[in-house]
Structures are given as structure tokens and as C-alpha cells.
Amino acid sequence: MELILRVYGALASRLRGLFYRALGVRMEGKCWLQAIEIPRNHRDILLGAGVALDRGVTLLVSGASQGRPKIEIQRQTYINRYTIIDASREIRIGAECMIGPHCYITDHDHVVGGGTAPGAGPLEASATHIEERCWIGAHVSILKGVTIGKGTVVGAGSVVTKSLPAGVIAVGNPARIIREIT
């Protein structure tokens, strides 16, 4: 029975890959795709070889195409269940990263002003980057304009509002560096 489930899972992942390629998602090799959601702007997404997107991952792209990927996930990166990546300008996730479940990664927010509804203002966007070999814990929010340096670990439940250097562990709301990784 276990073998049948594994074969079914592998076949379903391949069919999803073919489906999203046909819609315009660029894949640089085989990717492991569970029941993910990419509602629109498929051509603005690039997935590196070996990328794994678990059940419930959502890749949201808004705005006009820029001729380059708005969401780029580099090789061998794993994104756990129910994470949302929400791009209007540019979100780049480096190679060999691990992103925990229920995370939210964005490159924009809404401009708010007196007397207007929260969603009525224009989007304000700034590129968000996660460099290679980072580990992002469960329930982490990463906001616009942030760069997380190579090899950095962000603890579960953190809210990253400012860039973090390479090789540190950061936790909290807002995320603060608690130590260097040696």
C-alpha cells in the first residue's frame, strides 16, 4: 500500500509540474509540487531544479509583468505547508533554504491615509531577498525591503521588519539578533 501511495504521489507531482509549465511557470529542472496554488501571472515565477513546495503553498503575483521573475526560488529549496509568497515587485529565495509552515513573505504593503479604506491606497513595494542556506521557522512573517543574509536562521513566530546579516540567529517581533552562528 505504501508503494502505491508513493507512486501516486510522484505521478501527481509530475502532472502538477506539467500543468504549471503549460501555464508559463519556468522550471529549471524537476520540482516536487504538492497541492499548491498559483492563481495568476504564471510567467512571473521561476523555480530552480529540486525546489519542493508542500501542500497549501501559495505563490501570489500581482501587477504588470516586468519581463523578469517576480518570484524566484532557487535550487533545492523546500517550502513547507501553507506558506504564502506574495510579490508585486521581486521576491528572491536563494538555494538550499528551508522555510517552515504558515510563513508569509511579501515585498509590498498598502499606503494608508486619513479617510481611506486600508486597501484603497496604492501598493508600496521594495524587493525582498532571502539568501542561500537560510532556515526560516514556522509562522514567520518577512516584510517588504528585507534581505536575510546567507545562512541566517529566523526563529518561529518572528516578524522580520529589517534586514539581517549573514550567519546569525534572529527571533522575536520585531526580529532581533540573539547570536552569531559559528
pLDDT of amino acid 142: 98
pLDDT of amino acid 58: 98
> Domain limits of the chain?
2-180
Q: What nine digits make up the cell of 6? A: 508513493
**Is 0.85 topped by the overall pTM?**
yes
Residues 168 and 160 sit within 8 Å (Cβ to Cβ): no
SS3 for the chain, per residue? CHHHHHHHHHHHHHHHHHHHHHHCCEECCCCEECCCECCCCHHHEEECCCCEECCCCEEEECCCCCCCCCEEECCCCEECCCCEEEECCCEEECCCCEECCCCEEECEEECCCCCCCCCCCCEEECCEEECCCCEECCCCEECCCCEECCCCEECCCCEECCCECCCEEEECCCCEEEEECC
Question: Pairing state of beta strands 147-148 and 135-136?
Answer: unpaired
Q: How far apart are CA 61 and CA 32, in angstroms?
A: 20
Superfamily per CATH, domain 2-180: Hexapeptide repeat proteins (2.160.10.10)
Instruction: List per-residue pLDDT tens for the chain, 182 residues long.
Output: 888 888 888 888 889 999 999 999 999 999 999 999 999 999 999 999 999 999 999 999 998 888 899 999 999 999 999 999 999 999 999 999 999 999 999 999 988 877 778 777 788 999 999 999 999 999 999 999 999 999 999 999 999 999 999 999 999 999 999 999 98
Q: How far apart are CA 105 and CA 53, in angstroms?
A: 14
pLDDT of amino acid 111: 83
Residues with catalytic roles: 110
pLDDT of amino acid 114: 74
pLDDT of amino acid 10: 85
pLDDT of amino acid 99: 98
